[in-house]
Each structure stands twice: as C-alpha cells, then as structure tokens.
Amino acid sequence: MENSGSRTRHLLRARPYPAKLSIVVPMYNEEEVAGAFRAAVTAFFSEVACPCEVVLVNDGSTDSTISQLVEWSAADPRVKVLHLSRNFGHQIAATAGLDHATGDAVVLIDADLQDPLPVIHQMIMRYCEGYDVIYGRRESRAGETAHKRFTAWVFYRVMRTLVYRDLPIDTGDFRLISRECLDALNTMRETHRFLRGMIAWVGWPQIDVPYHRHARAAGTTKYSLLKMLSFAWTAATSFSAVPLRASIFAGVLVGLLGIEEALRAMAAWLFGWYTVPGWSSLMVVTSLIGSMTLISIGIVGEYLAHVYEEAKDRPLYMVARVYESAEESTEARPPHNEIIRTDG
C-alpha cells in the first residue's frame, strides 16, 4: 500500500518515540463499559515508554458515565475529562477531544474496547518510521450482525467511488495522528464533519495497520440505523457535489425520455399506428419530470442548508466543564471557538 497508485510520494523521515502520547475517547452513555475501559487504559499506559494522557469527552451522556469519569480523573492525573453541555454527536465530540489533546502522537479510539489498545504499539512503530496518520484497518469484525457488516461494506465502497477516492476502506475512526498533521486538521472548522474524509483530505504520509475488531465489551451500539444513514448523508454532502451533479444527470435523462416520447407520438401520427389519446404516456412523463424537479430542488436545498449552517459560524461544541487533577492543569493549547468554565 505504501505510496501506491495515485498517492503522493513522500520521503519518510524517521522520528523518535513520541515525547507524549494522548488518547482521545468520545463517550456517550458508556456506563457499562467505562470501568473495563479504565482498567484497559491503565494497563496499556504501563506498557508505553513515554508520558501519557487520556482525554475523555463526555458527549452529554444521560447515564452515570460522567460520575465514573470524574472519579477516574480525580484518581489519575493523566486523565482529563471534557464535559460537553449536551450531546453533540460522535464526530464533534471527537473533535473536542482532539482540540484538547497535548501529545505529539494522538490516538482517537472508541470507549467500547472494540478496537484493541495494543494495536497502538504497532501504530507507534509506524509513527517512528515517519508516517503521520496510521489508521486501523479492520480485517475482521466480531460480534457484529451481518446487516451491520453489509451496510458498512456498502458505505465504504460508495463513499470511495462516488465521494472521495482516497478514503481508506474498512477503516473507522481508530487511528494515530502526528502533531503536525493534527494541527493542520484542527484548522478545518466546518460544521458538518466527516473526520475520516477530512483526515484523508489533509494528506501527509498515511498508512494502515490491519487488526481484528472485537465485539463491544459491554453496552449497545450508539449508532442506530437512522444515525448511520444520516452519517452517510453528511459524509456524501459535506465531501462532494456528486449528489448535486446527479440531479443534473437525472434531469438530462428525463429530458431524453421526453424526446423519445415525442418521437414516438410523431411516428404514430405518420404511420397511422393505433393511438389512444395518449393519456398514460403523458402522465408518466409529467410525473417523472415533477418528481425529478422536486428531488433536484430538495438536493439544492440540502446544500443551501449546509451553506446556512456554515454562515452562522457557530462554535462546534460547548464545553460546560473540564475536570482534571490540579497537578496536571496546564491548559497549554488554546482551545478553538468555545466557552470553558473550569469551576468544576
């Protein structure tokens, strides 16, 4: 895969082991898995040869997740908890965590232990070789329904062919990002975020690490079918104008159909074919044109809505509170667009 095909050829520069490793974890109603995750991270940190931190983003959980996280941060100075003011969704919560990570290698991972922490060791090796983005590629996905696997399979292929050519296949958000690349990513403040696509867009030397994905350690998926569909739609419309162009294409198609109908009517008149007053063909063409017009207007409206959202230029998220032990409270990096009250 290295520098293959149309990928930009980079000269890799070996770098030393990271001076600090950050782990960023968005969490939404993860009370069932929070304890196991804490144990896994603590064990993992003891194997890492540099100082570590973990940035936990509580994405407006409605269960006891936040109390468990605050308890953890009180016990461990390497833990920082961002408590968002409400549920902003996975991609925004991840963005909040990435904004607040201070390491020079930053790992984005889910809280459910589906992505095994030890894979990060392999990612760090690649990081030392000079790669800036090392993403986990799922060779297998345990404990997921055939239906989920199928939708994921379709999702990646459609996104790749229609939307973004360089989007790595079978890859989630589990990845390690270098400080240089993360700083570049952090300059992109668009409201409709599809992080995987944005990271592919940023460029830099990127490589995959294959791994076997586990089943969820506990709890249930926070991505319902509806959320998945809306995520796919965000991905498609925030990354390409293909849907807009598709409506032009469909318009042309319907237009051709109309011409064909006209020719047929003329031929019928010339050759004296049997002609019913032509009510059905008229209806077909009319309703086709009507539906195409409405769909096209709808798609234009969708893009207009995106422009409207961006024009408002709102902050992406609100941090209601930050919890961390006093010993470690060095807020070195300036946060983007947000309100912080650290009176927690």
Would you tell me which residues interact with Mg ion (CB under 5 A)?
110, 112, 114
| Other C-beta atoms lying within 10 Å of the C-beta of residue 258 | 14
Distance from C-alpha of 343 to C-alpha of 341, rounded to nearest angstrom: 6
Give the list of residues 6+ apart from residue 65 with CB closer than 8 angstroms, or none: 27, 28, 29, 30, 31, 34, 58
Helix (H/G/I), strand (E/B), else coil: 79: strand
Q: Determine, following the binding rule CB under 6 A, whether residue 30 of this chain makes contact with ligand UDP.
A: yes
Supply the minimum distance, in Å, between the C-beta of residue 141 and Mg ion: 10
Taking the least distance from each CB to ligand UDP, the nearer of 292 and 316 is: 316
Taking the least distance from each CB to ligand UDP, the nearer of 179 and 196 is: 196
Q: Determine, following the binding rule CB under 6 A, whether residue 239 of this chain makes contact with ligand UDP.
A: no
Q: Determine, following the binding rule CB under 6 A, whether residue 151 of this chain makes contact with ligand UDP.
A: no
Q: Tell me if 80 sits within 8 A of 322, measured CB to CB.
A: yes
Burial class (CB in 10 A: 0-12, 13-18, 19+), 59: buried
**Beta partners for residue 321, in sequence order:** 83
Supply the minimum distance, in Å, between the C-beta of residue 90 and Mg ion: 10
Q: Determine, following the binding rule CB under 6 A, whether residue 243 of this chain makes contact with ligand UDP.
A: no
Q: Determine, following the binding rule CB under 6 A, whether residue 186 of this chain makes contact with ligand UDP.
A: no
Taking the least distance from each CB to Mg ion, the nearer of 114 and 234 is: 114
Taking the least distance from each CB to ligand UDP, the nearer of 143 and 301 is: 143
- Among 31, 76, 99, 112, indicate the residue that binds ligand UDP (CB under 6 A): 112
Supply the minimum distance, in Å, between the C-beta of residue 89 and ligand UDP: 5
Distance from C-alpha of 17 to C-alpha of 209, rounded to nearest angstrom: 18
Stretch that binds ligand UDP, among 72-80, 104-112, 229-237, 268-276 (CB under 6 A): 104-112
| Other C-beta atoms lying within 10 Å of the C-beta of residue 62 | 10
Pick the closest to residue 292 from 256, 266, 265 (CA basis): 256
Q: Determine, following the binding rule CB under 6 A, whether residue 211 of this chain makes contact with ligand UDP.
A: no
Binding site for ligand UDP (CB under 6 A): 26-28, 30, 59, 87, 89-90, 93, 110-112, 114, 221-223
